[in-house]
Amino acid sequence: MTEITAPKSPVTTEEFTDRIREQLKYAQGVTPDQATPADVYVASSLVVRHYLQDAWFQTQQDMINGSTKAVGYLSAEFLMGKQLRNALLNAGMIDQFDAAVEGLGFKPQDVIDAEYEPALGNGGLGRLAACFIDSLASLGVPAFGYGIQYRYGIFKQEFDKDGKQVEKPEYWLANEEPWGHTDYNRSQRVNFGGKVVTKADGSKEWQPEWSVRAVPVDYMVPGYASGRVNTLRLWTAKSYDEFDLATFNKSDYLNAVKPKVKAEDISKILYPEDSTPQGKALRLEQQYFFVSASIHDAIRVFYPGQDKPDLTTFPDKITFQLNDTHPVIGIPELMRVLIDEYGYDWNTAWDITTRTFNYTCHTLLPEALEVWPAKLIGELLPRHLEIIKAINTNFLAELATKTRDKAKIDRMRIVTEGENPQVRMAYLATAGGSHVNGVAALHSELLKDVTLRDFSDIYPNKFTNVTNGVTPRRFIRLANPRLSALITEGLGTDRWLSDLELLKGLEPLAKDDEFVKKFAAVKQANKEDFAAYAKREYGFELDPNTMFNTMVKRLHEYKRQSLKILALIAKYADIKSGKVNVDDVLPRTVIFGAKAAPGYYLAKMTIQLINNVARVVNNDPDVKGKLNVYFPWNYNVRLAQHLIPATDLDEQISQAGKEASGTGNMKFALNGAMTVGTLDGANVEIRERVGAENFFLFGMTVDEVDKLYEEGYSPAKYYEADPRLKAAIDMVSDGTFSNGDRNTYAPLVADWLTKDWFMTLADFTAYTEIQSDIEALYRQPLEWNRKALLNVANSGYFSSDRSIQDYLDRIWHTGPLA
Ligand code: 26Q
């Protein structure tokens, strides 16, 4: 008997059908005959919202009236992916939906696909925020996600005829968007610019120069089987000009409407850089915009109608998690609100503030740590700069009571000295909050020992780790229904969907050849599905009887897509030179997905190279179809959901000590892919859990990287030492992948041979050597699948439910609503 714990549908198929008809008629204004899949999508979404509405009210009421501290997850990015099917799953209505739309003459998949994916994030950090709010709701913890409703999400990626990346605006709101509920009555004024004056009583008054109206757009966040519905509140910027125009009789019409453009620019576009921040004023405006609105919103929510609320209880009402440094301006903002708006003294305000905020760091790259010129902050937020300076002064004084090491104190300055003082946001976050966490065990250690060493020396108890996780609802149940059914069959229950450690119960089944064969059949069917999808969406011809070998993530030098493509070129060169007999080559299909920041020259050139390698290799009859390279453009959540379940081998090959965690690695392991990877980020923990014998490890460790760096790294040495590496790089230089032009990739080649910051060349030999282990195992399908199944069985730890439980226990100290 299989135990089914999935939520029960609140509707029958007949009711669902009637409701869809009703929405088609009254909201869409069409008959079922006239309706398009997009109409049915909107109508169905409105029906789902209808059934979630009471639980949403109830959750909000219980939160406001109860005594359970809420979580405010402050994040500049929420990479949600499509909403409809997720909401249907969490509300228990998938079957009723499928039957209803089929009854109306539509294919459920067409209706699901009609939703335009909100791509309001760059990559890992944004998708993590989306997984976390899903888990918070599923655990029944009262929570708000607070962010920005960008009008343009991460750019839409295309490739031109030369294989170069072209960025197109992603205007995701072009069509009706049924999920967001704009609440004009709960808007907040956010001020900018101007000056600070000292009043007669010595208190400070900020006299801003201009303001923007922050209007919340609310999204329901239904928990899985929890009966709870939380809120994702994304702010959109509106101008106050309409008000001004209505009140003042401006004579110059065009000038009167001019500033509007600037105000509404604030929430216009998501910045596509995810490593080297550009220090642009508009980005700081965005950060302050959403954080200020969110703080005021939380005060409004938790102290309704109170003119003089007792804000010393604020940290008992809500805890704010800072998703990286992007919302750190919230620390001086809460100080300002408490002191200037509510009249608290500095010490009380500081106590409230430090008890309210916690900070998650997501990087180890020094250039990714946000730093803002004090001058820029002063122009945009003069009162905040004063407060930051005062925080810095007090902090330095506190440090002087804790250490006599003057050099150390100096290194820890939040505001640097000199002609162009800078504000270090990571330091401000560390000083202004209760906890700092990294996102995987290794990353948290490196944060303590390297990046924030001085801070962890003096405040060791502030530092903790919370290893990332991913939601099993979207990334197993929705993405991989076949595997989900097999897991439920194997475990005899579907409870794993809310308690993922239960996957451990699959471990004994890895000894059962019949079960392993079923598992293999699931993978094979997923590969066939993906081949059909890739044909439909991209026109690719993938052969599902080859190994599907995937590398999907942002394009970055440290992630080392170069290593993958060079190894592939080396194999191609082996075939071309006759060094290996093509008939002995294990057939592989290598699939890349990656966006490069528009200004990241080498990353864009790497994309161009991959596309041209694909063109040459795929069309070379000498290869006899043994090597295939595909680069589906515009990698996004939807593509991830199709590709991850179909992957045999996943690449996690960053230079050790550079990838904070990675979350793709978790999604692949949970979907039964094997991983080839370095000891970096969460790979370390994945390998520990699934077993070293079930993970393809290669490459230098963090210590070896450090040592080589200290000795003086010279990439050319490796080029000379490994003839296969030399052959691969020479092939890039000699025009093989650029129609004979030897200049096309010259900058990339020069970088490899003279700089190679992330030691791709040094790890090349080890990476190519591990390929024979990989191929030997893949030639034994039963053994391969046994190991892949053990990856699934032992990856339950990587549920974002577990991550959230860790945050609750170690940092937030709150829990589900009573
Ligand atoms: C900052 C200032 C100005 C403009 C842009 C930015 C910016 C935007 C996005 C800086 C960084 C990001 C995104 C970083 C990110 O996605 N980091 C990844 O976070 C994942 C979740 O913790 C980790 O798994 C990855 O290892 C980490 O790279």
The encoded tokens of residue 600 equal 């990241």
Beta pairing class for 229-238 and 143-148: parallel
How many A from CA of 780 to the centre of ligand 1?
39
**Structural domain for 705, as ranges:** 530-777
**Best of 74, 287, 324, 686 for a ligand 1 pocket test (most atoms within 8 Å of beta carbon):** 324
Residue 83 dihedral angles phi and psi, to the nearest 5°: -95, -35
- For the chain, the distance separating the N- and C-terminal CA atoms, rounded to the nearest angstrom, is 32
Quote the number of domains for the chain: 3
- CA neighbor of 191 nearest in space, from 221, 165, 213, 172: 213
Distance 524 CA to ligand 1 centre (A): 34
User: Which pLDDT tens digit goes with each residue over 614-623?
Assistant: 999 999 999 9
**Do 452 and 584 belong to one domain?**
no
Q: Which atom of ligand 1 is nearest to the CA of 443?
A: 26
Are 678 and 656 within 8 A, CB to CB? Answer: yes
CA 612: distance to chain centroid? Answer: 29
Q: Which residues of 201-239 are buried (b: 16+ CB within 10 A; e: fewer)?
A: eeeeebebeebbbbbbbbbbbbbbbbebbbbbbbbbbbb
CB 277 less than 6 A from any atom of ligand 1: yes
- Please, which pLDDT band fits residue 514 given cuts at 50, 70 and 90? very high
**Do residues 212 and 263 make contact, with C-beta atoms less than 8 angstroms apart?**
yes
Q: Which two tokens stand for residue 126?
A: 């944004």
In this prediction the pTM is: 0.98
48 and 74 both lie in a single domain: no
What are the residues facing 493 on neighbouring strands? 3
Query: What pLDDT score does 31 carry?
Result: 95
Task: Examine the domain organization and report whether 42 and 125 are in the same domain.
Answer: no
440-474 per-position pLDDT tens digit: 999 999 999 999 999 999 999 999 999 999 999 99
- Residues 101 and 222 occupy one common structural domain: no
CB-based burial label for 181 (10 Å; 0-12, 13-18, 19+): middle
Mean pLDDT of 25-53: 97
Spacing, Cα 274 to ligand 1 middle (Å):
5
Q: Is residue 805 part of a domain?
A: no
- What would the pLDDT profile of 203-232 be if each residue is shown by its tens digit? 899 999 999 999 999 999 999 999 999 999
Say if ligand 1 is within 6 A of residue 425 CB: no
Cβ–ligand 1 distance for 659 under 6 Å, the answer yes
Q: Which atom of ligand 1 is nearest to the CA of 283?
A: 3
Q: What is the mean pLDDT of residues 110-127?
A: 97
| CB atoms near residue 371 (< 10 Å) | 16
Note whether residue 19 is domain-resident.
Answer: yes
Cα–Cα distance measured from residue 448 to residue 464, given in angstroms and rounded to the nearest whole number: 9
- Cβ(267) – ligand 1 distance below 6 Å: no
The pLDDT tens digits for 413-439 are 999 999 999 999 999 999 999 999 999
**Is 384 among the catalytic positions?**
no
**Nearest of 149, 141, 25, 176 to residue 80 by alpha carbon:** 149
HEC readout, 503-514: HHHHHHHHHCHH
pLDDT of residue 248: 53
Q: Which of 466, 484, 499 is the last residue of a domain?
A: 466
Q: Is residue 99 part of a domain?
A: yes
Residue with tokens 């937030």: 812
Q: Does residue 285's CB lie within 6 angstroms of at least one atom of ligand 1?
A: no
Please give the radius of gyration of the chain, using alpha carbons only, rounded to the nearest integer.
Answer: 27
Lowest mean per-residue pLDDT among 59-68, 198-207, 619-628, 655-664: 198-207
State the maximum Cα–Cα separation within the chain, in Å, rounded to a whole number.
88
Q: In the prediction, which pLDDT does 276 show? A: 76
Q: Is residue 368 part of a domain?
A: yes
Q: Mark whether 667 is an active-site residue.
A: yes
Regarding the beta carbon of 370 and ligand 1, being less than 6 Å apart is answered: yes
Task: Look at residue 123 and tell me whether its pLDDT is greater than 60.
Answer: yes
pLDDT at 341 exceeding the cut of 70: yes
Same domain? 152 vs 106: no
> CB 514: neighbour CB atoms within 10 A?
8
451, 589, 663, 814: which one is catalytic?
663
pLDDT of residue 243: 59
Tell me, yes or no, whether 698 and 744 share the same domain. Answer: yes
- Tell how far the Cα of 103 is from the centroid of ligand 1, in angstroms: 44
pLDDT at 274: 85
- Nearest ligand 1 atom to the CA of 660 is 26
Residue 333 pLDDT? 99
Is 818 inside a domain boundary? no
For the stretch 103-112, pLDDT in tens is 999 999 999 9
Alpha carbon of 158 to ligand 1 centroid (Å): 22
Tens-digit pLDDT profile for residues 304-319: 999 999 999 999 999 9
Average predicted confidence (pLDDT) for the chain: 96
- Local structure of residue 734 (DSSP, 8 states): T
Which run of H or E residues covers position 219? strand 210-222
Q: Does residue 125 belong to any structural domain of this protein?
A: yes
The finding on whether 323 has its CB within 6 A of some atom of ligand 1 is no
> Does the C-beta of 333 come closer than 6 Å to ligand 1?
no
Backbone angles phi, psi at 680, to 5 degrees: -140, 150
In a domain, 522, yes or no: no
| pLDDT of 255 higher than 80 | no
* Cα distance between residue 613 and residue 606, in whole Å: 10
Q: Which of 69, 82, 384, 667 is catalytic?
A: 667
362 is catalytic: yes
Separation of 582 CA from ligand 1 center, angstroms?
41
The tokens for 260 are: 């509007």
- Do 550 and 588 fall within a single domain? yes
All residues at 6 or more sequence positions from 807 whose CB lies less than 8 Å from its CB, including other chains: 71, 321, 466
For position 736, what pLDDT does the model report?
Answer: 98
Is 50 within the bounds of a domain?
A: yes
Return the H-helix or E-strand segment holding 774: helix 760-778
Strand partners, 358: 321
The answer to whether 487 touches 504, Cβ cutoff 8 Å, is no
Same domain, 42 and 74: no
Lowest mean pLDDT among 8-12, 52-56, 810-814: 8-12
Mean local confidence (pLDDT), 767-793: 98
Interval 551-579 mean pLDDT? 98
Which residue's CA is the nearest one to ligand 1's atom 8? Answer: 274
> Cβ distance 523 to 788 under 8 Å?
yes
Residue 128 CB–ligand 1 contact under 6 Å: yes
Query: What pLDDT, on a 0 to 100 scale, did the predictor assign at position 279?
Result: 75
Quick check: is 553 catalytic?
yes
- State the closest ligand 1 atom to the C-alpha of 126, by its place in the atom list counted from 1: 16
Distance 362 CA to ligand 1 centre (A): 6
Cβ contact 286:267 at 8 Å? yes
- Alpha carbon distance 410, 773 (integer Å): 51
Confidence of residue 766 (pLDDT cuts 50, 70, 90): very high
Residues 530-559 as b or e (16 or more Cβ within 10 Å = b): bbebbeeeeebebebebbbbbbbbbbbbbb
Q: Which structure tokens are listed for 310?
A: 């007792």
The pLDDT value recorded for residue 367 is 85
Q: Is-catalytic flag, 308? A: no
User: Do residues 110 and 124 share a domain?
Assistant: no
Give, using CA atoms, the residue closest to atom 12 of ligand 1: 274
Joined together, the tokens standing for residue 71 give 């979580």
Query: For residue 244, what pLDDT is reported?
Result: 61
559 tagged catalytic? yes
User: Is residue 769 over pLDDT 80?
Assistant: yes
Residue ID of nearest Cα to ligand 1 atom 10: 274
Cβ of residue 444 lying under 6 Å from some atom of ligand 1? no
- Asked if residue 373 and residue 278 are part of one domain, the reply reads yes
Alpha-carbon distance 255 to 509, whole Å? 72
The stretch 254-272 carries a mean pLDDT of 79
Q: How far, rounded to the nearest angstrom, does the alpha carbon of residue 652 sit from its chain's CA centroid?
A: 16
pLDDT of 657 over the 80 cut? yes
Q: Is 660 in the pocket of ligand 1 (CB under 6 A)?
A: yes
The percentage of the chain sitting over the pLDDT mark of 70, rounded to a whole number, equals 98
133/206 same-domain check: yes
Tell me the CATH number at 745. 3.40.50.2000
Give pLDDT, residue 277: 73
User: Is residue 83 lining ligand 1, measured as CB closer than 6 Å?
Assistant: no
Q: Which residues pair with 144 in a beta bridge?
A: 72, 231
Clarify whether residues 174 and 263 are in a common domain.
yes
